[in-house]
Structure 1
């Protein structure tokens, strides 16, 4: 799809072109365009389990070897995909804006791989892990030991190693959530990209930004649960819309 295909609201382009503070929220939609499978996709052994049966503390303590192997499997899948044009467009937008915050619900590390610098990971990062007892960060090699049939343990204290992601029933990291809310308060423009807006508190961030005075735009294949509250709704693939949007903003900045 060509850049000329998109007719962006003039106010969105004008505001982005002059904005000194921008916040972006991304969800599973942008990663899906890179081919990242969700944990609900079929995958041999794992078809026998529901995500809720594996992604929680109780399951981990009951069968750490099984849970560690599931996450080792998911990490291998993530490494096989690459950031898409939507990820790279956000990197370019970050370079244009003095105060830019990228808030993501994704744990696949694709934003960082693309080159984004100011990333707030609300749900953690699949490629990080740590000891549940002493908190020591764990090398990925430690977790891969689970594939040998025994739980990976911390070499310092012997505690179990878990992935640094938010599991069902856990609170979001306080520091990350505080940083996200602060970005919403400062933002002049807020973009919500590829998220269905049904999982709170992340789903409420666009509305927090709007209440604070930001112009809020949604980019999605289908309207989200809060689409009616947005100032602009852009339907389509993030990998097509974001590059075209950034190109239009760059043109407006150069013209101004």
Structure 2
């Protein structure tokens, strides 16, 4: 084991409260492109800019075009070693909460329970008419229309995500802030820390150990107690192996 892995494993084992704050880089090893990486969604050439497609104004005016894009890029993927490790740490009492910028739902699928999804979850749909929430797979389409209809009232449904032009859920924000403020160890992984207000949440941390796990430098590097550049899932696989060897989980 390298020194970084051993240090992180030791801090997790000794910490009275550990919180994980993750971004797109947590899911790249599941096959989902990150947002601002070299091959990420942000830099992919497209006829309509991504920020426009993902805006509430575009969705409201052009729901068919939005859903055509959605069905083009959506594909179910499986949790990777990082998602599974975090769920195992929570079950062992070593992880208090996961705060995520991702909308892929992989933390829930891996088994984590205390998950605060800042930008929502595209595996859930919400009806624009009656407000019914349903899993993506339960939505229905009619006569080739790409826009799913509510199984209850037949109104249009939308992904349960925060689009550009919308505010984050205040209850989710407050819960995430509370978890981060109580943490003695905060692990920030797979995020460039440039998307606000989510990126500003780490300013509420005042604990003992700030760990940054990202392939490229971030604005918070100068404040970190440990910086890891290796892939997130690979690092957590090694951390879990060391924790098991030490009998900490």
Query: Are residues 1:19 and 2:15 paired?
Result: yes
SS at match of 1:47: coil
Distance 1:201 1:214, change over 3 A: farther
Distance 1:48 1:142, change over 3 A: farther
Gaps of 5+ in 1: none
Query: Match of 1:236?
Result: 230
SS at match of 2:148: coil
Residue number among 171, 174, 187 corresponding to 1:178 in the alignment: 174
SS at match of 1:175: helix
Query: Match of 2:50?
Result: 51
SS at match of 1:117: coil
Query: Are residues 1:69 and 2:68 paired?
Result: yes
Offset from partner CA, 1:69-118 (integer Å, 9 cap, x none) = 3223333x2x1x32211221212221232661001111111112222221
Query: Are residues 1:8 and 2:35 paired?
Result: no
More helix by share: 1
Query: Match of 1:189?
Result: 185
Query: Match of 1:114?
Result: 110
Superposed displacement of residue 251, structure 1: 4.1
Which stretch shifts more, 50-59 or 122-131?
50-59
Query: Match of 2:220?
Result: 226
Give 1:111-190 correspondences, 5 Å limit.
111-140=107-136, 143=139, 145=141, 148-149=144-145, 151-190=147-186
- Distance in 2 between residues matched to 1:9 and 1:32, nearest whole Å: 20
Q: CA RMSD in A?
A: 2.6
SS at match of 2:89: helix
TM-score by length of 2: 0.86
How many residue pairs get aligned? The number is 243
Residue number among 212, 215, 230 corresponding to 2:209 in the alignment: 215
Q: CA contact under 8 A between 1:8 and 1:245: conserved in structure 2?
A: no
- Distance in 1 between residues matched to 2:106 and 2:50, nearest whole Å: 22
Query: Are residues 1:246 and 2:240 paired?
Result: yes
- Distance in 1 between residues matched to 2:162 and 2:143, nearest whole Å: 22
Residue number among 19, 23, 26 corresponding to 1:30 in the alignment: 26
Q: CA contact under 8 A between 2:13 and 2:94: conserved in structure 1?
A: no
SS at match of 2:196: coil
Query: Match of 2:36?
Result: none
- Distance in 2 between residues matched to 1:151 and 1:244, nearest whole Å: 43
Q: CA contact under 8 A between 2:17 and 2:183: conserved in structure 1?
A: yes
Distance 1:248 1:82, change over 3 A: same
